[in-house]
Amino acid sequence: MKTFRKILLGEEFNRATASIIAILIGLLVGFLVLLISNSAEALAGFKIILSGGFSTGAKGMGQVLYFATPLILTGLSVGFAFKTGLFNIGTPGQFIIGAFAAVYIGVTCTFLPAPLHWIAALLAATIAGGLWALIPGILKAYLNVHEVISSIMMNYIGMYLANYLTKSTIYDIRKAQSLNVADSAVLPKGGLDYIFYNDLGGVKDLSTVNSGIWIAIVVAILIYFIINKTTFGYELKACGFNQNASNYAGINAKRSIVLSMVIAGMLAGLGGGLLYLSGASGRHLKVVDMLAVEGFNGIPVALLGLSNPIGIIFSAFIIAYITQGGNYLQTLNFAPEVIDIIIACIIYFSAFALYFRKLLPFLIKKGRGDRQ
């Protein structure tokens, strides 16, 4: 009993509970919104959200994994920056620039053989994302520009730049989207085509999911290792806690800030590459004046995952799951934006984490005291 109580009062459990409360409140608000807008079908609509990817069988679950892949990476990007005391709101820009770099290499460099081609494309995405975050990093470290403002500006610049470059280099005018990447640049299926398909009378209706999800999980573990087990990660974290103290301890704080931003940007850029290197049935770059949603959704993913890389994997699944459910909502004439409302509420209430965290141990202790 004592160990049980110890777990209940422990830091990790406490923080995870705060996340779960935030998710529940978010879902509740979503249900209320459905109820107000169309009370007759609200329950059916809410069921669709909850059943998420399962609505369409194994293929649907595959799609959840496919859309969770970029979210893991952008979540890692935001979470890694959080750990080092920075708020990387620039993931949409880094993501889209990375995506463009990957697709560009995927379409043009056809002379490369299969594994090399997609590896090169992913590397390009990673580097491009890192470069895009380098600018806010330098501005923050050396010129005292708040990284939130500068990354927001970089988001818009990145969006317009990606639009312009896509239109002028790799555009398929008939389909109004980017050209398909070469087959050699499509990420291999990595065994997932044996699980995630729907059987249409002997024909396999394959999900888009590919080995990108394996790569994402490996990267998450790698980041966990870097943050928690290396001197380098420790230095970056120390700068997040107290710049002056780390300077005093002989850490180059300015260099650490720039490096943190660049690594965060590399993660977001890689996420862009993983989503878009997925063949004809996958996503294509579209020329629209809208910031990449996958980038912004990295923020709730990181918050729910408590900036812990392993937690981020799970929270990316959750967000992808309900987003997928939202897409099916249109069958009931509900606008899928209700999912964004839910996610916004989840972020809002996870900002209350500090309050929940103080409240929980208090309630648990009080409950015990009453019974004794």
Contact set with other proteins (CB under 8 A): 33, 37-38, 87, 89, 135, 139, 143-146, 148-150, 152-154, 156-157, 160-161, 163-164, 167-168, 289, 296, 299, 303, 333-335, 337-341, 343-345, 347-348, 350-355
On the CB side of 50, CA atoms within 13 Å amount to 11
Q: 214 vs 348, which CB is nearer to other proteins?
A: 348
Q: 215 vs 264, which CB is nearer to other proteins?
A: 264
Q: 185 vs 346, which CB is nearer to other proteins?
A: 346
Tell the smallest beta-carbon distance from residue 177 to other proteins (Å): 17
Q: 139 vs 266, which CB is nearer to other proteins?
A: 139
Q: 229 vs 358, which CB is nearer to other proteins?
A: 358
Tell the smallest beta-carbon distance from residue 256 to other proteins (Å): 19
What is d(CA 32, CA 52) in angstroms, rounded to the nearest whole number?
18
Tell the smallest beta-carbon distance from residue 344 to other proteins (Å): 4
Tell the smallest beta-carbon distance from residue 149 to other proteins (Å): 6
Tell the smallest beta-carbon distance from residue 298 to other proteins (Å): 11
Q: 171 vs 234, which CB is nearer to other proteins?
A: 171
The secondary structure of the chain, three-state, reads CHHHHHHHHCHHHHHHHHHHHHHHHHHHHHHHHHHHHCCCCHHHHHHHHHHHHHHHHHHHHHHHHHHHHHHHHHHHHHHHHHHCCCCCCCHHHHHHHHHHHHHHHHHHCCCCCHHHHHHHHHHHHHHHHHHHHHHHHHHHHHHCCCHHHHHHHHHHHHHHHHHHHHHHHCEECCCCEECCCCHHHCCCCCCHHHCCEEEECCEEEECCCCCHHHHHHHHHHHHHHHHHHCHHHHHHHHHHHCHHHHHHCCCCHHHHHHHHHHHHHHHHHHHHHHHHCCCCCCCCCCCCCCCCHHHHCHHHHHHHCCCCHHHHHHHHHHHHHHHHHHHHHHHHCCCCHHHHHHHHHHHHHHCCHHHHHHHHHHHHHHHHHHHC
- Who contacts 239 (Cβ-Cβ below 8 Å, separation ≥6)? 84, 85, 246, 251, 253, 256, 257, 260
* 96 CB neighbour count, 10 Å cutoff: 29
Q: 38 vs 177, which CB is nearer to other proteins?
A: 38
Answer for the pair 49, 322: CB distance below 8 angstroms, yes or no: yes
Tell the smallest beta-carbon distance from residue 324 to other proteins (Å): 17
What is d(CA 278, CA 285) in angstroms, rounded to the nearest whole number?
12
Tell the smallest beta-carbon distance from residue 31 to other proteins (Å): 14
**Residue 365 tokens, joined:** 């202790």
Tell the smallest beta-carbon distance from residue 134 to other proteins (Å): 13
Q: 232 vs 355, which CB is nearer to other proteins?
A: 355
Tell the smallest beta-carbon distance from residue 294 to other proteins (Å): 13
Tell the smallest beta-carbon distance from residue 25 to other proteins (Å): 12
Q: 221 vs 351, which CB is nearer to other proteins?
A: 351
Q: 218 vs 335, which CB is nearer to other proteins?
A: 335
